[in-house]
Structure 1
Amino acid sequence: MDRLESMSIVVAVVESGSLSAASRRLGMPLATLSRKVAELESHLKTRLLHRTTRQLSLTETGRSYVAACRRILEEIEEAERAATGEYTVPKGDLAVTAPVVFGRLHVVPVVAEFLAQYPEIDIRLVLADRVVHLMEEHVDVAVRIGRLPDSALVATGIGAIRRVVCASPAYLDIHGEPAKPRDLASQQCITFEGLESARAWRFGSGKTEQAVPIHSRLVTNTAEAAIEAAIHGAGLTRVLYYQVADPVRSNALRVVLDTFEPAPLPVSLLHTGQVPLPLKLRAFLDFVTPRLRARIPREFGHLTGT
């Protein structure tokens, strides 16, 4: 059994979504491909794929094995490029993920600039307001907003973002501006559930941190919907400052309770730290890191009044 061929086949099956699609992609008879996958599973003495007539998915063992296969095959490709003198030209595919609004406002322009400079690199950009697992979802780089748990991932800080409470001037004229967090009990609130609980918002930090009960008249799963509702006078919302920077500058929204804000959340670039670092990934990190730092002004992380 050719192990490298078997690794390439199982990766192709996963990327294609089915055995038949991988067969067409590789130009290999379906029976041959299916036999080689079965031989690999027999050699490993474990099942890598759950196969049904409608769906193909990885087992838990399969997920970790395919991730390792990707790394091994990529390292071999890098070694071959180095040996043939092609290593000086970054090329290949990259998968990048970022939060939806931050990605649209800041990552997309930088990625577009990167693509223009590196014509032999293609990028798959996944914008999602959830934690995307790099290894399981085959992502090379993540922009992550928030404190990072201990892990084997390599993180590079690129800035910090405030969490702000804001509302439209029209809403505040009618309902009054809260002077302290506890005043929120009598206010109408809009909660973006990706950032806060719909029942309580937290203020301060360390020993002064407190959870303040609120009444969420509207709960939404996107920051953009919460912001739009706040602009239309539906209540106070809490989001990240970069998400409302433009409405605040145009006075469509006004920030309140700024002296009670918790510590800003760090913004980081994450990758798995594989060794050697693929040239395409090194090129991307070197390119985007200073540009994303430049796109996060000090005001995004500055606590007014402190």
Structure 2
Amino acid sequence: MLDDLALFISIVDAGSLQAAARQHGLPPATLTRRLQRLEGQLGCRLLHRSARRLLPTQAGQAYYEQCRPLVSALKQTTEALDVGMNKVQGLLRVLAPVNLARGLLAPMWARFLAAHPEIRLELFLSNHDEDLWQHGADVAIRVGEQPDSTLYQRRLGTVELVVAGSPAYLAERGVPTHPVELSAHELLVIEPLGPWRFRDPDGGQTLTIEPSARCKLNELALAVTLAEAGLGLLYCPRTIAHEALQTGRLVQVMPGWTPPGRPLYAVWPQRQQPAKVRALIEHLSDFALATPLLQGAGPATLHSPPRSDHAPASHLD
């Protein structure tokens, strides 16, 4: 009925069936048939039609005057929605982990904004899995398995975990070679990593320990700073500690005992992705694939080609 109503409005605006038919690219007979259908649904005649003139009836004039602004507003809303779904522009709200967003991902944001000048980016950084609905967010970047089945997701890569300490600390306290030896060490524990999990790739053995913390904190960069100061061993993402490891301020220990990597995801609430969301997710995916640290690359493979991994999963840190 809405389509027929819009045609009725355009017929009155055009002043004739033939002119309205040309505007819509339809045969005049089709417009006549649809106009008659609308009149039948309303139970009244809307137009006086003759060979030379077309004028609204009294009921048709009242219907036209009341419905025209509504049809115009609906058309404008539909066009705006179509632009939002199909053009990369407008406000884009993103939730992301603090250290990952302002560290390894920093150049990604700059490149994305440069590539899409009509986007206004609003970043909310948090070390917790913030609620997308509450924040009105379009996308969230999260680390770890994602149990929320109401969200759609795309796996971007893997974040490797390492255990590391400063050269001074290791010289004083010794270098552990097995997870059970960690009980004799000062440990810096980051929430929400929780239990420290290890896997022995040679024997296939897995081991989980509950670390007794000398210091427990929820800020990754500060934890790396404390480890560099020789205050203890750190269990953390390589993405956070890679500069300290490369420069020798930290040294990885127990390389034979590999903590299971944590999956990296983009998650979003809408099944139908607006163009701006699709653009960001593709940009994130390309960036992650080109970044070895986001593909679980250890020190021996840090400069090797990244592997592709788009398997679906769940949330992020």
Q: Report the TM-score when normalising by structure 1.
A: 0.66
1:203 aligned onto 2:198: yes
Choose the corresponding residue for 2:191, options 173, 190, 193. Answer: 193
Query: What amino acid maps onto 1:123 in structure 2?
Result: L
1:214 aligned onto 2:211: yes
Question: Counterpart of 1:231?
Answer: 228
Choose the corresponding residue for 1:120, options 109, 118, 121. Answer: 118
Tell me, what secondary structure is at the counterpart of 2:242?
helix
Q: Hey, what's the Cα distance between the residues in 2 that align with 1:194 and 1:159?
A: 20
Question: Counterpart of 1:80?
Answer: 79
Question: Counterpart of 1:165?
Answer: 163
Offset, 1:194: 2.4
Question: Counterpart of 1:15?
Answer: none
CA distances 1:33-92 after superposition (whole Å, capped 9, x unpaired): xxxxxxxxxxxxxxxxxxxxxxxxxxxxxxxxxxxxxxxxxxx98831476x78764211
Q: Hey, what's the Cα distance between the residues in 1 that align with 2:238 and 2:76?
A: 42
Question: Contact 1:78 / 1:87 at 8 angstroms: preserved in 2?
Answer: no
Question: Counterpart of 1:288?
Answer: 284
Greater relative contact order, per chain length (Cα 8 Å cut-off, separation 6+)? 2
Choose the corresponding residue for 1:242, options 236, 239, 243. Answer: 239
Q: Hey, what's the Cα distance between the residues in 2 that align with 1:147 and 1:301?
A: 19
Offset, 1:288: 2.7
CA distances 1:107-163 after superposition (whole Å, capped 9, x unpaired): 332112111222221111112111122122211111111112151322211111111
Q: Hey, what's the Cα distance between the residues in 1 that align with 2:234 and 2:162?
A: 8
Q: Hey, what's the Cα distance between the residues in 2 that align with 1:77 and 1:303?
A: 55
Query: What amino acid maps onto 2:198 in structure 1?
Result: F
Choose the corresponding residue for 1:273, options 270, 284, 291. Answer: 270
Choose the corresponding residue for 2:258, options 250, 261, 271. Answer: 261
Offset, 1:287: 2.5
Q: Hey, what's the Cα distance between the residues in 2 that align with 1:87 and 1:212?
A: 48
Question: Contact 1:167 / 1:254 at 8 angstroms: preserved in 2?
Answer: yes
Query: What amino acid maps onto 1:289 in structure 2?
Result: S
CA distances 1:197-252 after superposition (whole Å, capped 9, x unpaired): 5xxx23238x8433324331111120111110000000101100111111101010
Query: What amino acid maps onto 2:241 in structure 1?
Result: V
Offset, 1:299: 6.9
**Between the two proteins, what is the percent identity of the paired residues?**
27
The count of aligned residue pairs is 225
Query: What amino acid maps onto 1:281 in structure 2?
Result: V
* Distance verdict in 2 for CA 1:273–1:89, change over 3 Å: closer
Structure 1's unaligned 5+ residue stretches are 1-75
* Distance verdict in 2 for CA 1:151–1:176, change over 3 Å: same
Query: What amino acid maps onto 2:269 in structure 1?
Result: T
Question: Counterpart of 1:100?
Answer: 98
Q: Hey, what's the Cα distance between the residues in 2 that align with 1:136 and 1:114?
A: 25
Tell me, what secondary structure is at the counterpart of 1:261?
coil
* Distance verdict in 2 for CA 1:138–1:298, change over 3 Å: closer
RMSD, aligned α-carbons: 2.8
Query: What amino acid maps onto 2:244 in structure 1?
Result: P
Structure 2's unaligned 5+ residue stretches are 1-74, 302-317
Q: Hey, what's the Cα distance between the residues in 1 that align with 2:214 and 2:84?
A: 59
Q: Hey, what's the Cα distance between the residues in 1 that align with 2:293 and 2:277?
A: 25
Question: Contact 2:84 / 2:90 at 8 angstroms: preserved in 1?
Answer: no
Larger radius of gyration: 2
Q: Hey, what's the Cα distance between the residues in 2 that align with 1:171 and 1:162?
A: 23
Offset, 1:94: 0.8
Choose the corresponding residue for 2:177, options 154, 176, 179. Answer: 179
